Amino acid sequence: MSPMNGFGVWSTIVLILFLSENSETKQSRKNVYGRTLERNAGKKNGGNCANNMFLKDPYRTPSFPVRPWYRSPEESLTSYAWRNPTIGYCQAMNIVTSVLLLYTSEEEAFWLLTAICERLLPDYYNTKVVGALIDQSVFEELVKDNLPTLHQKLQVLGLLSMISLSWFLTIFLSVMPFNCAVNILDCFFYDGASVIFQIALTILEQKKEELENSKDDGDAMTILSSYLENVSNRDSTMPNIEHTSMLCSKKSDVPSIDVSDLIDDSYRKFGHISNQDIDKLRLKYRLQVVQNIEDSTMRNIIRSVASDTLFKGQELKDLYVLFKEEYLTSCYWRTHQQPVDTADKYDPSRPYYELYKIDFDQFKTLFYLCLPGQQDNMLKRWHCTCSG
């Protein structure tokens, strides 16, 4: 029996999350998937941009067992790109969607992907993976609180940032045998994002002694990779699919742990971590992560233009801040006409100079702000406008 006929859990979740809130919502969302594909067929941006990026990214799609029900995730990914053009397509989305399609229809996979991107793992799948970076900080705090001695060792090795991104972005699908990782995905859909933190903490706790005695980050990664690759599933009827990208070159004949035992341990030892706790920690670290990204963006932009201008150092920083403030103000007060096609404006496949070039009105305002004494005058006018 194929997974499509044998598993109805994820399809049920689709109904709970999106199609059974009330009759009006259910009716408005009926056949959204099909209408989205039909309405945007043949357009040259948005979905097609995501499609092109997907076609360039074939080697990150996992090797699934050859079965007649395997389908390409291209259609579901394209449809979601039209639904949410600010995300479009991001690496790792193809891995997750390919798994969803083994158990659901294209439309159900579309809604499950929507649930992952917009509810369970918000802001994960964008060009800056903001959500994943936030959860990286959340995970570091959870390790510090629950495994303090191991946290000190991993902090020295700089390992937590590496493992959290690779584990969380694909919900363990790219680091664990496929027939084991889908069990974790079941719990993830049923109990929410807290599950991936519980599983990650349990893995670290299981290998705590070896990790504390590891010589360097490479040694520690090999320990974790070997453990994950050798997770088994005694209840699985599907073949064990190994990941060729794993660091360990030889698979052990003895399983490290059964995935059911791993999940059970995670609930018993770290079940006190709730989704509410995760949400509070995400809120705590969001501003810090966004500011770090903004600072990094500013440094990169200044570095890229430094050789083409007579402005130096602090002058370039001041110019960056001035233009950013003016741009945000124009967006808020609509002092300039905004781009009509937002998806096209923020298409990540376009060059930086096209994404961030300024029009004449913006240049005029920026030039005015650079004149001596005009910045203070502008700030006074903004203050009067806000006060009035």
Top-confidence range, 273-282, 286-295, 368-377 = 273-282
pLDDT at 299: 87
pLDDT at 73: 83
Could you give the CA distance from residue 312 to residue 149 in angstroms, rounded to a whole number? 45
- Residue 138 pLDDT class (50, 70, 90 cuts): very high
Quick one: which of 44, 37, 35, 93 has its CA closest to 347?
A: 44
pLDDT in tens, 218-250: 999 999 999 999 999 988 776 555 554 444 445
The single-letter DSSP state of residue 232 is E
Could you give the CA distance from residue 151 to residue 142 in angstroms, rounded to a whole number? 9
Name the percent of the chain lying above pLDDT 90. 29
Same-domain status, 251 and 325: no
Same-domain status, 66 and 115: yes
pLDDT at 270: 97
The total of structural domains in the chain comes to 3
Quick one: which of 130, 85, 120 has its CA closest to 100?
A: 120
Name the residue with tokens 């990650």.
Answer: 200
CA diameter of the chain:
76
Is residue 184 predicted with pLDDT exceeding 70? yes
Is there a domain that residue 147 lies in?
Answer: yes
pLDDT at 322: 75
Is there a domain that residue 239 lies in?
Answer: yes
pLDDT in tens, 322-380: 777 766 666 655 555 554 444 444 455 556 556 666 677 767 766 776 676 655 555 55
Is there a domain that residue 289 lies in?
Answer: no
Measured in whole angstroms, how far is the alpha carbon of residue 32 from the centre of its chain?
A: 24
Question: Is 183:233 a contact under the CB 8 Å cutoff?
Answer: yes
Query: Where in the sequence is the domain holding 315, given as residue range(s)?
Result: 309-387
Same-domain status, 132 and 263: yes
pLDDT at 57: 57
Same-domain status, 185 and 116: no
Same-domain status, 258 and 134: yes
pLDDT at 12: 65
Is there a domain that residue 297 lies in?
Answer: no
Mean pLDDT, range 191-197, rounded to an integer: 95
CATH of the domain at 37: 1.10.8.270
Is residue 137 predicted with pLDDT exceeding 80? yes
Same-domain status, 137 and 233: yes
pLDDT at 385: 46
Same-domain status, 136 and 205: yes
Could you give the CA distance from residue 132 to residue 117 in angstroms, rounded to a whole number? 11
Same-domain status, 231 and 112: no
Same-domain status, 29 and 161: no
Mean pLDDT, range 259-275, rounded to an integer: 96
Q: Average pLDDT of the chain?
A: 76
